[in-house]
DNA sequence: CAGATGGAAGGAAACGTTTACCATGCGGTC
DNA sequence: GACCGCATGGTAAACGTTTCCTTCCATCTG
């Protein structure tokens, strides 16, 4: 037994002849080591777990790709689990990941950071920490100092600020803001950036131009149709996500408004097909893949040595395409 | 030890008082069972592994979602690994999954089914089978009878047949076919379906209208630009994938050809944003999520009882939108 | 009241590795 | 010629569960 183990591990002198015999036996018996036994006796690095609402969304898929990439490059496996937004399932998954001895558990996706949420996260963080794992929050607000968790954010506020500034610089005074759900952290941040840009350019805020809703195509479509029906006056739209922008585009087109001739449009996320829309969409790029990679990197670095950052904010960037033009 | 195990498993009578004491200890010690030890003594169902080229593509992400969904609904974890098309990495992953005691290994993605490929797959199938696992091929051609593998295909040929028939029925006689790489199994099938439809309608095949290339947006763009430069005459385009269709659309637009007024266009895959293009894209829907679910279902059913299918072909369906119109 | 019955708890083996420690044999050194 | 050190191989403990088999004790049963 010992000799086989050492032959396969290659960390101990084994004579050429013995090695050959071992290999022959391995071959003929189709022998493979048993990870569980190996893990029990302590020689296996735990996997990285990604907990996500729905892997199907283009931006989340990129986060997943980043996580997988960084994990494999460090010799870890990636577990992917979806919650479909169910908090109870999230609880179960945290427990499951403690059992699995996951090296890191990466939670992704928008969230309403109320008290219940913070309590839940603090509990997750402590539970995972006690099990030698690490909670990583991606695209979610940071937890109170002292909580054993790592947070990787991106600059929602700055992105929205850039987007609105771009529209204002083009001469648009009445910008329809199609935000996200009130309370949702990223939606609030994006809205703040938008408002800050208005203030910076001394453009008064008008409540009727600030229309919240969900981050979906349908919601974007409905909201634009409704404001058009109501006869609202605007020359540009800042959509809280590219999905919303796509819905808005459809509604504008139905109303015979051409983008960007009649109405300018800016999205948020830079999904891959943004460039294939007509017109191609000016939008804010979020470094999703980089978010995933960073999440894993920070968590594992901290495991291997002590130290490293626990909170990082990645920057976003306005990508200028064809959907913005000065108002007529 | 025994009592704790039984208390937590709940499969043996334990007095209320003892149960309470155990639970209190579990609580105060933050105890969690160790999966590896549990697995060693035989009480753990192996995970399902998904091996994919790149999880970022919209269609493959849906396969992943299907796999994850079916796996969790059966109490299994999902491991996701990407190969970036590297055969050596695929070899390593098969070995890794044997070690992990994966219940099933799902391989997805187009492939050139040459001899080397068949040898490789046969070897994978046998290696996994010997380890009590199951190889599942999704969207790939079946292996020789007797190989211990499960295959879940979809009807490439039928989809292409429908697409071409639709164009022919609309009156298009000269259809530009932007296929995939020669040899790639799905590309060959789609091409066959296209040719069969031409034959069925007694439309002669013309080689100049049959332009192979890769399954990418760029390739679609290039090919259309090239044939337009060469002055080729055609009134409709059948693209081998939606990505190609999007590239074609861009090239047509650059040449001031309007879709569908001047040229009709049909894609393949039905990616989520197909409906958001201008015009919305008529395309062939491939049931990607269903493919993933079926793959897992077949593999696990076979594990749990004996029997069940080893080869399934899911049907595809033409989705009619706005990108096809009779020629002028 | 002796023996049977049954519920609850504990002891110990087994799962398949890794590795610290020990045993053996061999060549070389003083 | 005894001793040492090195290369190699073997033994057994440890990892943390589950579960079979015992044991213990209390309650029935005749």
- The tens digit of pLDDT for each residue in A178-235 reads 999 999 999 999 999 999 999 999 999 999 999 999 999 999 999 999 999 999 999 9
Contact A68 B61 (CB under 8 A): no
- Show pLDDT as tens, one digit a residue, over chain B (328 residues): 899 999 999 888 899 999 999 999 999 999 999 999 999 998 899 999 999 999 999 999 999 999 999 999 999 999 999 999 899 999 999 999 999 999 999 999 999 999 999 999 999 999 999 999 999 999 999 999 999 999 999 999 999 999 999 999 999 999 999 999 999 999 999 999 999 999 999 999 999 999 999 999 999 999 999 999 999 999 999 999 999 999 999 999 999 999 999 999 999 999 999 999 999 999 999 999 999 999 999 999 987 766 678 999 999 999 999 999 999 8
CA distance linking residue A182 with residue A127, whole number of Å: 30
Instruction: Using the structure, give the distance in angstroms from the CA atom of B62 to the C1' atom of C2, rounded to a whole number.
Output: 72
Query: Strand C: which residues 164-223 of B lie within 7 A (CB)?
Result: none
SS (H, E, C) A193-230: HHHHHHHHCCCCCCHHHEECCCCCHHHHHHHHHHHHHC
| Residue A32 contacts strand C, CB under 7 A | yes
| A-chain residues near B100 (CB < 8 A) | 35, 77
CB proximity B72 to A under 8 Å? yes
pLDDT of residue A307: 67
| Residue B55 contacts strand D, CB under 7 A | no
CB proximity A327 to B under 8 Å? no
| B-chain residues near A81 (CB < 8 A) | 68, 72, 77-78
| B-chain residues near A95 (CB < 8 A) | 32
By C-alpha distance, the chain B residue nearest A34 is B99
Beta strands in A146-203 (DSSP E): 149-154, 175-178
Chain C bases closer than 7 angstroms to a protein Cβ = 7-20
Instruction: Using the structure, give the distance in angstroms from the CA atom of B3 to the C1' atom of C10, rounded to a whole number.
Output: 8
CB proximity A81 to B under 8 Å? yes
Contact B98 A40 (CB under 8 A): no
pTM: 0.93
Which H or E element spans position A131?
Answer: none
Instruction: Using the structure, give the distance in angstroms from the CA atom of A8 to the C1' atom of C24, rounded to a whole number.
Output: 23
CB proximity A127 to B under 8 Å? yes
Q: Tokens at residue A78, please?
A: 């990636």
Axis crossing angle, helix A58-73 with helix A288-304, rounded to the nearest 10: 30
């Amino acid at each position: 037994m010992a000799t086989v183990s050492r032959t396969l591990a290659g960390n101990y002198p084994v004579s050429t002849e013995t090695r050959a015999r071992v290999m022959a036996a391995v071959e003929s018996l189709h022998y493979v080591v048993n990870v569980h036994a190996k893990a029990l006796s302590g020689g296996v690095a735990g996997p990285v777990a990604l907990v996500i609402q729905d892997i199907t969304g283009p931006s989340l898929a990129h986060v997943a790709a980043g996580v997988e990439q960084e994990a494999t490059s460090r010799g870890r496996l990636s577990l992917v689990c979806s919650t479909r937004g169910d908090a109870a399932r999230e609880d179960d998954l945290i427990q499951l990941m403690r059992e699995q001895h996951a090296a890191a558990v990466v939670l992704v996706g928008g969230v309403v950071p109320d008290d219940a949420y913070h309590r839940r996260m603090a509990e997750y963080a402590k539970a995972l920490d006690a099990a030698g794992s690490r909670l990583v929050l991606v695209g979610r607000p940071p937890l109170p100092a002292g909580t054993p968790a790592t947070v990787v954010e991106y600059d929602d506020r700055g992105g929205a600020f850039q987007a609105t500034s771009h529209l204002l610089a083009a001469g648009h005074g009445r910008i329809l803001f199609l935000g996200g759900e009130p309370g949702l952290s990223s939606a609030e941040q994006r809205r703040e950036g938008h408002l800050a840009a208005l203030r910076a350019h001394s453009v008064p805020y008008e409540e009727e131009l600030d229309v919240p809703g969900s981050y979906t195509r349908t919601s974007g479509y409905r909201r634009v149709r409704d404001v058009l029906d109501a006869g609202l006056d605007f020359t540009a739209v800042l959509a809280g996500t590219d999905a919303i922008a796509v819905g808005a585009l459809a509604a504008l087109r139905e109303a015979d408004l051409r983008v960007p001739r009649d109405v300018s449009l800016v999205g948020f996320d830079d999904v891959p097909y943004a460039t294939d829309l007509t017109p191609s969409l000016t939008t804010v790029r979020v470094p999703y893949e980089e978010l995933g990679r960073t999440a894993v990197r920070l968590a594992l670095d901290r495991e291997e040595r002590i130290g490293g950052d626990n909170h990082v904010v990645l920057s976003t960037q306005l990508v200028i395409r064809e959907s913005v033009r000065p108002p007529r």
